[in-house]
Chain A
């Protein structure tokens, strides 16, 4: 594949990632948010495979595979499992209107592109639009976490944020070192498991959403 083609494909995947991100932010039901984040991880795995073919970097194949299995399958499954165990209300509860959140998300996208447009020389180091898309995904993930007050949506926002970082990391010309990527993914899994346990624990003791607890103040 020529560098130009890879460039285009990464840009396109970036657009698809932004689309899934918008779906996550606007998701009215927790299941949809989970499916959207799974789709997002799938696109990231595809990006990894494309970059692996283009650069001949074997590490990237491994990373793409791990991303596919862990982030596109296992983590959504864990979330799904928790949702079923909790038997929660299906609708998510936004703190501010979804319209406002969407507007903020778009603002974030614009600002990220503006920010990285000011960096000329980065273009060689990171393929295509991966840097602005990564920044936008990371920040929008935080936005999703801040504007939704259920533990599960916060976890989804967290995974989306991590996805943004992964996307950028993959697209750095040489790719991240394999050992580091594996360590990062391991951390993400562990964090997800610990969070899932906490959510279930609180649900079983006080029948409330852990993110809704607000006794600690001042």
Chain B
């Protein structure tokens, strides 16, 4: 099979995403701190947290089954696998059969499902509540994400992200079709929900009763918790990468060779940073929504995505 992205490149990209994941979280935290006139922790803080956690021992609830121990590994594996599907430094179809955007969303959903199962398995009250809430929100987010993907995929005739991004080529906002605007709007609404941030979730605390994601992690400890945290960072950068692939696909330069790869990586970093800045801005300027308000908030994204789809088809 021929393709623009050989196996080595895909694996490299995946590793890059795993390495950069915590950095994005750190950057968002730093930007948030600056926006709120605080000094804030350094951008490398998530790495330090991870290292600290990996060194610690594990404590497990009495009620938890043996399955609980394997949950973090499975979640991390699913999320990292999802990372392989996002084009980073170069667009174009992969040289070997690889999943598409639907596979990516499926893997993220699987990770989410495993996280919830783990939280329920541990038997804690917080975990159960977090899981039930997460499962209330997830069905509202995932179909909409899928619709956004479809609304862009319709023009390219493929849902494979690399090929899709290549088809979109170097188009910038000027060349956007009307549906792209609405799809992007839907994506902007959904991003905080998918990355577990304000106004849907609050990543900074697991003490409030309003939290979703952090509640599910509360029973994990030591290396397990580290894996879960890394999976969260990974999910965030994968989601941002998905947005970048769908809406800001490629560099204008005909990238080939080492310089092309470097340029691609640089462009990717810029795209991710811009989206991260958006997340930081949203987190700083909005308050957490009451849980019962969340469906209404996500409804805006749903309406936008559906309209985008309608615009594309009609």
A–B direct touch in complex (beta carbons closer than 8 A): yes
Bound Cα distance from A13 to B180, whole angstroms? 11
Q: How many residues of A sit at the interface, in one of the four size bands?
A: 20 to 34
Interface string of B179-197 (1 = CB under 8 A from A): 1111001000000000000
Q: Mark A115-137, 1 if CB is under 8 A from B, else 0.
A: 00100000000000100100000
| Chain B interface, DSSP helix/strand/loop, else mixed | helix
A153 to B72 alpha-carbon distance, docked (Å): 48
**Given the complex, which residues of B lie within 8 Å of A23, measured CB to CB?**
300
Counted as pairs of residues, one from A and one from B, with CB atoms less than 8 Å apart, the total is 65
Compute how far the CA of A132 lies from the CA of B302 in the bound complex, rounded to whole angstroms: 20
Complex interface bits, A128-154 against B, C-beta within 8 A gives 1, otherwise 0: 010010000000000000000000000
Q: A18 CA to B300 CA in the complex, in Å?
A: 11
In the complex, the answer to whether B182 meets A113 with C-beta atoms within 8 Å is: no
Taking the closest CB of chain A, its distance from the CB of B65, in whole angstroms, is 38
| A109 touches which of B293, B297, B302, B310 (Cβ 8 Å) | B310
CA distance A114 to B313 in the complex (A): 10
* Separation of A63 and B47 alpha carbons in the complex (Å): 56
**Cα separation A129 to B311 with both chains bound (whole Å):** 10
| Among listed A98-106, A168-176, A208-216, interface-contacting one | A98-106
Chain A residues with Cβ under 8 A from B174's Cβ? 8
Q: State whether A12 touches B181 (Cβ < 8 A).
A: yes
Asked if A129 contacts B296 (CB within 8 A), the reply is: no
A-contacting residues, B121-159, CB 8 Å: none
A109–B312 Cα gap in the complex (Å)?
Answer: 12
B307 pairs with A22, CB closer than 8 A: yes
Q: What is the size, in residues, of chain B's interface with A at 8 Å between Cβ atoms?
A: 25
Instruction: Tell me the minimal C-beta distance from B189 to chain A in angstroms.
Output: 10
Which partner residue on chain A sits nearest B302 by CB separation?
A102
Q: Mark A84-111, 1 if CB is under 8 A from B, else 0.
A: 0000000000000011001101100110
Contacts A22-B300, A98-B296 given; does A117 touch B176 at CB 8 Å: no
Contact B303 A15 (CB under 8 A): no
A26 x B306 contact (CB < 8 A): no
Q: Is the CB of B181 within 8 A of A19?
A: yes
Chain B residues contacting A132 (CB-CB under 8 Å) are 314
Contact residue among B176, B182, B185, B299 (Cβ-Cβ distance under 8 Å from A102): B299
Decide: A106 and B178 in contact? CB cutoff 8 A.
no
Interface members, chain A 4-33 (any B CB < 8 Å): 8, 11-12, 14-16, 18-19, 22-23, 25-26, 28
* Complex CA distance for A103 and B305, rounded to whole angstroms: 12
Is there an interface contact between A26 and B296, defined as CB atoms closer than 8 Å?
A: yes
Bound complex: CA of A25 vs CA of B296, how far in Å?
11
Cα of A114 to Cα of B181 in the assembled complex, Å? 20
Q: Is A15 a contact of B314 with CB atoms below 8 Å?
A: no
Taken residue by residue from 272 to 310, chain B's Cβ proximity to chain A (1 for < 8 Å, 0 otherwise) reads as 000000000000000000000101110110111011101
A22-B304, A109-B307, A110-B310 in contact; A15/B179 too (CB < 8 A)?
yes
Contact of B303 among A16, A28, A102, A117 (CB under 8 A): A102
Q: In the complex, what residues of A have CB within 8 A of residue B180's CB?
A: 15
For residue B181, which residue of chain A has the nearest CB? A15
A15: chain B residues within 8 A (beta carbon)? 178-182, 307-308, 311
On whether the beta carbons of A102 and B300 are closer than 8 Å, the reply is: yes
A129 to B307, CA, bound (A): 13
Bound CA span A144–B23, Å? 43
Say which residue of B178, B297, B306 sits within 8 Å of A129 (CB atoms).
B178
- Residue of B whose beta carbon sits closest to that of A100: B299
B307, chain A: closest CB distance, angstroms: 5
**What residues of A have a CB within 8 angstroms of the CB of B307 in the complex?**
15, 18, 22, 106, 109
21 sample A-B contacts, Cβ–Cβ < 8 Å, listed by A number: A8-B174, A8-B177, A11-B178, A12-B181, A14-B178, A15-B178, A15-B308, A18-B182, A18-B307, A19-B185, A28-B293, A28-B296, A98-B299, A99-B299, A102-B299, A102-B303, A110-B314, A113-B310, A117-B314, A129-B311, A132-B314
B residues at A contact (CB < 8 Å): 174-182, 185, 293, 295-297, 299-300, 302-304, 306-308, 310-311, 314
Closest 4 CB pairs of A and B: A15-B178, A113-B314, A15-B181, A11-B178
